[in-house]
């Protein structure tokens, strides 16, 4: 199964991209880096520049039908940029409309808020998003990982890089169940 990882051209927290990427590969699936521009994305280690990664597809120019699931890595700047891009927001919303699983970590739920998909859902995130999630109709919980089965699709969320082990275990299991 092909899994989309959606990131902005700059600002993704590198470990929140690379650990899920490796987990997707280890599960026998194919990761695909989707961004809002062609070329490459600049990752960060918190505030310091890290590696760059080649973009496989551009949101708005790729069909959600090509993918079995979506992963939204965090970093503060990454989801802030994505939520300002209409094509990225529509790309995210279309996974929910199609009933496909979505996984998001750290600050990534900002993009979910903009996609207006949190009403009636329970999720976790970096703690500073708690009020934003509540204002968007979601319920925020402080857990390493939370799986919400409200609506047509499964939403798997996690708080921070320290929770990546729990996060990758949870989403690979959910993605495998969705592929059946």
Active site residue ranges: 107
The DSSP code for 162 is: G
Beta-carbon contacts of 165 under 8 Å, excluding residues fewer than 6 positions away, are none
Cβ atoms within 10 Å of 87's Cβ, excluding its own: 14
- Say if residues 167 and 18 touch (Cβ distance below 8 Å): no
Rounded Cα distance, 74 and 8, in Å: 10
Helix (H) and strand (E) counts for the chain?
6, 12
Q: How far apart are CA 18 and CA 51, in angstroms?
A: 10
- Asked if residues 148 and 129 have their Cβ atoms less than 8 Å apart, the reply is no
Q: Are 155 and 148 in contact (CB under 8 A)?
A: yes
Q: Which residue, 25, 75, 27, 83, is CA-closest to 59? A: 83
């Amino acid at each position: 199964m092909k899994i989309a990882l959606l990131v902005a051209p700059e600002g993704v927290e590198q470990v929140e991209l690379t650990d899920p990427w490796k987990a997707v590969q280890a599960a026998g699936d194919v990761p695909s880096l989707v961004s809002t521009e062609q070329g490459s994305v600049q990752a960060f280690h918190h505030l310091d520049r890290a590696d760059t990664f080649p973009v496989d597809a551009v949101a708005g120019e790729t069909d959600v039908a090509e993918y079995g699931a979506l992963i939204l890595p965090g970093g503060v700047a990454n989801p802030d940029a994505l939520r300002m891009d209409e094509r990225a927001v529509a790309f995210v919303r279309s996974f929910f409309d199609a009933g496909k699983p979505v996984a998001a970590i750290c600050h990534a739920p900002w993009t979910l808020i903009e996609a207006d998909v949190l009403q009636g859902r329970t999720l976790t995130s970096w703690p500073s998003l708690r009020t934003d999630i509540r204002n968007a109709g979601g319920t925020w919980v402080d857990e390493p990982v939370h799986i919400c089965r409200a609506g047509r699709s499964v939403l798997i969320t996690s708080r921070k890089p320290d929770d990546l082990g729990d996060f990758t275990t949870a989403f690979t299991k959910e993605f495998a169940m969705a592929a059946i």
